[in-house]
């Protein structure tokens, strides 16, 4: 995995060297701020971020594809991929480095949202239970990295960043509606769609339940998409 970390840190830096990174963060904080101000900060209600985390799948929907869309497609479009391919770094290191960089950027983006639980702790009485909040953040991270892995694959497939964005967006929407769609189909496919559905898992997390099945589920699906991206990257050497 030589060079993986160099690629990750360059990738992370590139978000902050360009306006796009800052705009993505601003957009996300605006969305979450809106939800927090209108849906959480209501006088007389028990202080909880439950609704906030329940909505997290939706809030990340426009943001994660924007983070991932340029990861590989920009390299393909500009030709800088040649510089990477001719260096002694393996395709796996390239892909994983890029995924790490994007994931760390997403974590950085989540850090300012910690202000919401802090505000609740300061002003709400009784103070909110920290357990569900920790579970909520774990869910956000798992969900975000899953979205990014889908975006990474889309970005590996095309030099067109806009196309990568759209494909990612619709793939995520598909996962979100998989639970609903499961009710319309016959049993063998129903089980598959149920397993893929994101909604019920997010609901569990936002209630404060950390189910290892969900954690492993998210992680393995992400790993699967990263693996597919590595295969696609490796294949580029052959065509």
Q: Which is nearer to other proteins, 12 or 152 (CB)?
A: 12
Distance CA 106, CA 93 (A): 20
Residue ranges in 55-94 that form contacts with other proteins under rule CB under 8 A: 78-80, 82-90
The Cα–Cα gap between 202 and 51 comes to 11
Return the residue of 38, 43, 126, 238 that touches other proteins, per CB under 8 A. 238
Residue 11 parent element (H or E): helix 4-17
Is residue 44 at the binding interface for other proteins, with CB under 8 A as the rule? no
Residue 228 contacts by C-beta under 8 Å, 6 or more apart in sequence?
A: 153
45 binds other proteins (CB under 8 A): no
Residue 216: CB minimum distance to other proteins, A: 33
CB atoms within 10 A of CB 33: 14
Least distance CB 76 / other proteins (angstroms):
10
Phi-psi region of 46 (alpha: psi -120 to 50; beta: other; left: phi over 0): beta
Site string for other proteins, 14-43 (x = CB under 8 A): x--xx-------------------------
- Segment 158 to 187, residues that bind other proteins, using CB under 8 A: none
Tokens found for residue 195: 């397993």
Residues that bind other proteins (CB under 8 A): 2-3, 5-7, 10, 13-14, 17-18, 78-80, 82-90, 237-239
């Amino acid at each position: 995995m030589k060079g993986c970390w160099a690629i990750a840190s360059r990738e992370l830096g590139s978000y902050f060297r360009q306006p796009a990174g800052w705009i993505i963060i601003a957009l996300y904080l605006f969305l979450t701020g809106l939800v927090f101000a209108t849906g959480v900060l209501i006088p007389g209600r028990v202080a909880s971020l439950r609704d906030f985390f329940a909505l997290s799948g939706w809030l990340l929907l426009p943001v994660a594809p924007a983070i991932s869309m340029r990861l590989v497609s920009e390299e393909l479009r500009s030709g800088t991929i040649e510089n990477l391919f001719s260096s002694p770094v393996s395709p796996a290191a390239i892909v994983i480095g890029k995924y790490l960089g994007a994931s760390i950027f997403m974590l950085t983006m989540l850090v300012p949202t910690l202000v919401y639980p802090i505000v609740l702790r300061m002003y709400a009485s009784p103070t909110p239970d920290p357990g569900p909040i920790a579970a909520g953040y774990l869910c956000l991270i798992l969900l975000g990295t899953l979205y990014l892995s889908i975006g990474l694959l889309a970005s590996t497939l095309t030099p067109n960043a806009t196309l990568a964005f759209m494909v990612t967006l619709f793939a995520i929407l598909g996962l979100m509606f998989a639970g609903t769609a499961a009710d319309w189909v016959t049993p063998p496919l129903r089980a598959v769609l149920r397993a893929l559905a994101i909604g019920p898992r997010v609901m569990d997390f936002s209630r404060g339940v950390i189910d290892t099945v969900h954690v492993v589920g998210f992680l393995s699906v992400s790993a699967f998409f990263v693996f597919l991206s590595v295969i696609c990257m490796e294949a580029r050497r052959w065509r």
